[in-house]
Structure 1
Amino acid sequence: MTDTSEWEGVADISFPEGGGPVLKDGLVFRFGTFGFPPLAALVTESQAPADGVPGRLSWTAKQDGAPTEKLDVLHAWLVEDLPGGRVRILTQETQIGRPAAALADERPNPMLNGHQAWLDGLISAALG
Structure 2
Amino acid sequence: MKSMQSAINWPERYLPGTGDNFVSNEVIVQGVTVAQVWHHLTDTSTWESYYDNVADISFPHGDGPELKDGLVFRFGTFGFPPLDAHVVEFQEPAEGVPGRVSWTAKQDGTPAERLDVLHAWLVEDLPGGRVRILTQETQIGESAAQLARQIPNPMLNGHQAWLDGLVRAASGRAR
What 5-or-longer segments of structure 1 have no aligned partner? none
CA contact (8 A) 2:83 2:105 kept: yes
Point out 4+ residue stretches in structure 1 off by more than 4 angstroms. Answer: none
Query: Is the counterpart of residue 13 in structure 1 residue 53 in structure 2?
Result: no
> Larger relative contact order (C-alpha < 8 A, sep ≥ 6)?
2
Q: TM-score normalized by structure 1?
A: 0.95
Partner of 2:120: 76
CA distance in 2, matches of 1:21, 1:108: 32
CA distance in 2, matches of 1:121, 1:48: 21
Q: What is the DSSP-based 3-state SS (H/G/I as helix, E as strand, rest coil) of the residue aligned with 1:26?
A: coil
- Note the C-alpha offset of 1:102: 0.5
Query: Is the counterpart of residue 25 in structure 1 residue 69 in structure 2?
Result: yes
Partner of 2:133: 89
Q: What is the DSSP-based 3-state SS (H/G/I as helix, E as strand, rest coil) of the residue aligned with 1:40?
A: strand
CA contact (8 A) 2:90 2:102 kept: yes
- Note the C-alpha offset of 1:92: 1.4
Partner of 1:53: 97
**Which entry has the higher C-alpha Rg, 1 or 2?**
2
- Note the C-alpha offset of 1:4: 1.2
Q: Percent identity?
A: 80
Partner of 1:99: 143
CA distance in 2, matches of 1:83, 1:60: 31
Two-structure CA RMSD over aligned residues (Å) = 1.0
The number of equivalent residue pairs is 128
Q: TM-score normalized by structure 2?
A: 0.71
- Listed one character per residue, the Cα deviations across residues 101-125 of structure 1 (whole Å, up to 9, x for unaligned) are 1111112321111000000011011
